[in-house]
């Protein structure tokens, strides 16, 4: 239904907004965890990985140390694997450190239903027993279907369920920006 009607794009964040938000999140992570002791970042593929790398770079600027960074693919943990028509592509999970007893900050671009985060937590726990799992997202757009809440949020945006939030990243050949696609 929504595909027939005309769509318009609303700019939610530009490159400067994104940089400020990620800098603030980096500071908040350090504040909450009182430094970088036992701390590690895990980005959720694909967007979350690039955002995690940016947070890693900001924290290095602030603290002078590089946090361990992992990349998590949640495809195999999706709760809709058997019911989808198309088979989602599996990518590699690469977490080159032991997560047991670490404080893990999961990083994703958009927090929506919470199902991706549920899958990511299941995936992480299969790899070990972290001391804590925290969640950092660039955009929280509401409409949770699971009891999941982010610890660090770049921007909270009220949306309608059928609207779409796109996070465009330089690393993927785009101009940094966040856009809300909505029916006119």
- Which residues in this chain contact other proteins in the complex, by CB under 8 A? 73, 75-77, 81-82, 84-94, 122-123, 126-128
Nearer to other proteins, 92 or 175 (CB): 92
Chain mean position to CA 6: 29
CA distance 148 to 3: 29
Nearer to other proteins, 102 or 139 (CB): 102
**What is the nearest approach in angstroms of other proteins to the Cβ of residue 24?**
33
Nearer to other proteins, 94 or 145 (CB): 94
**What is the nearest approach in angstroms of other proteins to the Cβ of residue 6?**
30
Residues whose CB falls within 8 Å of the CB of residue 59, separated by 6 or more in sequence, listed in order? 26, 29, 30, 36, 65, 66, 67
Strand order in 177-183's β-sheet?
A: 7-14, 177-183, 164-168
**What is the nearest approach in angstroms of other proteins to the Cβ of residue 86?**
6
CA distance 133 to 29: 12
**What is the nearest approach in angstroms of other proteins to the Cβ of residue 100?**
9
Nearer to other proteins, 82 or 173 (CB): 82
**What is the nearest approach in angstroms of other proteins to the Cβ of residue 92?**
5
Output the CA torsion sign for 56, 153, 37, 69: negative
CA distance 108 to 117: 8
Nearer to other proteins, 48 or 154 (CB): 48
């Amino acid at each position: 239904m929504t595909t027939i009607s005309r769509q318009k794009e609303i700019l939610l964040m530009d490159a400067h907004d994104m940089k400020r938000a990620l800098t603030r999140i980096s500071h908040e992570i350090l504040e909450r965890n009182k430094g970088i002791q036992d701390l590690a970042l895990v980005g959720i593929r694909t967007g979350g990985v690039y955002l995690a790398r940016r947070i890693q770079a900001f924290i290095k600027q602030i603290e002078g140390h590089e946090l361990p960074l992992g990349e998590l693919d949640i495809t195999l943990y999706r709760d809709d694997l058997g019911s989808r028509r198309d088979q989602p592509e599996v990518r590699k999970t690469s977490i080159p450190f032991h997560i047991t007893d670490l404080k893990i900050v999961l990083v994703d671009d958009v927090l929506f239903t919470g199902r991706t985060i549920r899958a990511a937590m299941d995936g992480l726990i299969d790899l070990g027993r972290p001391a804590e799992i925290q969640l950092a997202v660039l955009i929280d757009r509401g409409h949770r279907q699971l009891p999941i809440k982010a610890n660090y949020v770049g921007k909270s945006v009220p949306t309608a369920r059928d609207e779409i939030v796109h996070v465009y990243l330089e690393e993927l050949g785009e101009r940094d920006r966040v856009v809300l696609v909505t029916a006119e």
